[in-house]
Amino acid sequence: METKELHLDTSGEQVVDITAEVERFCMGQGDGLCSVFVPHATAGLAIMETGSGSEEDLMGALAALLPRDDRYRHRHGSLGHGADHVLPAFVSPSLVVPVHAGHLALGTWQSIVFVDTNADNPHRRALLSFLAG
């Protein structure tokens, strides 16, 4: 199994499209599965359409679901940081995408995005692993 670590700076962005980086990692690998995992307690991954306003819709839905106030027992960091720790229960920290002939088998409008609501830590990582078929 081949593995690569991506380093991300999410300063100012809460939804970061990482599809191109994942696609580059899979190029020339043949058929198999690509696993993407974020080793963080306050971030996740999603497959969604980008560039059509969906990113803002996602963040709006998450803000409604996980308000940034003092209701959380997990209280260190900025106000509402407890919501960041609940995020991975709704936006998974991992996903797997089939790869055919070295290309992600995503649909026409699908992209892989890194979702980060934690403004306290903009330095993030994603681990890519390829398992040949």
pLDDT tens for the chain, 133 residues long, are: 899 999 999 987 899 999 999 999 999 999 999 999 999 999 999 999 999 999 999 999 999 999 999 998 988 888 889 999 999 999 999 999 999 999 999 999 999 999 999 988 899 999 999 999 8
Q: What is the pLDDT of residue 25?
A: 98
Q: What is the pLDDT of residue 35?
A: 98
CA distance 53 to 68: 22
Q: What is the pLDDT of residue 109?
A: 97
Q: Which domains does the chain have, with CATH numbers?
A: 2-132 (2.60.120.460)
Tell me which long-range contacts 61-70 makes (C-beta under 8 A, separation of at least 24): 62/87, 62/90, 62/91, 62/115, 62/117, 65/90, 66/90, 66/117
Query: Position 65: which residue type?
Result: L
Q: What is the pLDDT of residue 39?
A: 97
CA distance 24 to 50: 19
Q: What is the pLDDT of residue 78?
A: 87
Nearest alpha carbon to residue 6 among 33, 35, 32: 35
Nearest-5° angle of CA 102, CA 107, CA 113?
85
Q: Are 30 and 132 in contact (CB under 8 A)?
A: yes
Q: What is the pLDDT of residue 91?
A: 97
58 phi and psi, to 5 degrees? -60, -50
